[in-house]
């Protein structure tokens, strides 16, 4: 057997634009009493493609839970409500 392949997504780098979007998002979260920490992890998403085009992307504001892609994977309903509220705050900031 021969296995071939390689990286199929560009790395998502922290640009000044991404940092600014994170700051805006952290401020929106703070208004809700949420301390939104910034983390960098391995892995990839379709956001990598948008970021490579210069579009500011925050990846990881989705499901709150544990066990990603495992049989015991689960999400927190309360966590999802919180994330939806943060996302609404970010969208509201763009229309001010």
Q: What is the pLDDT of residues 13-49, one digit of tens each?
A: 999 999 999 999 999 999 999 999 998 877 788 999 9
Domain CATH for 73: 1.10.150.900
Domain-located, residue 23 = yes
Domain-located, residue 54 = yes
Residue 43's H or E segment, with its range, is none
39: its two tokens: 């983390």
Overall number of domains in the chain? 1
Domain-located, residue 88 = yes
Answer whether 48's CB lies under 8 Å from 3's CB.
Answer: no
Domain-located, residue 3 = no
Q: What is the pLDDT of residues 73-92, one digit of tens each?
A: 999 999 999 999 999 999 99
What pTM was computed for the model?
0.82
Query: Domain limits at 69?
Result: 16-94
């Amino acid at each position: 057997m021969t296995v071939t392949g390689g990286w199929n997504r560009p790395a998502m780098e922290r640009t000044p634009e991404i940092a600014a979007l994170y700051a805006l998002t952290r401020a929106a979260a703070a208004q809700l009493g949420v301390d939104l920490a910034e983390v960098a992890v391995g892995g990839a998403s379709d956001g990598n493609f948008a970021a490579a085009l210069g579009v500011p992307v925050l990846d990881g504001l989705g499901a709150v839970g544990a066990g990603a892609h495992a049989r015991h994977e689960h999400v927190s309903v309360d966590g999802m409500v919180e994330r939806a509220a943060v996302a609404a705050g970010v969208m509201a900031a763009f229309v001010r």
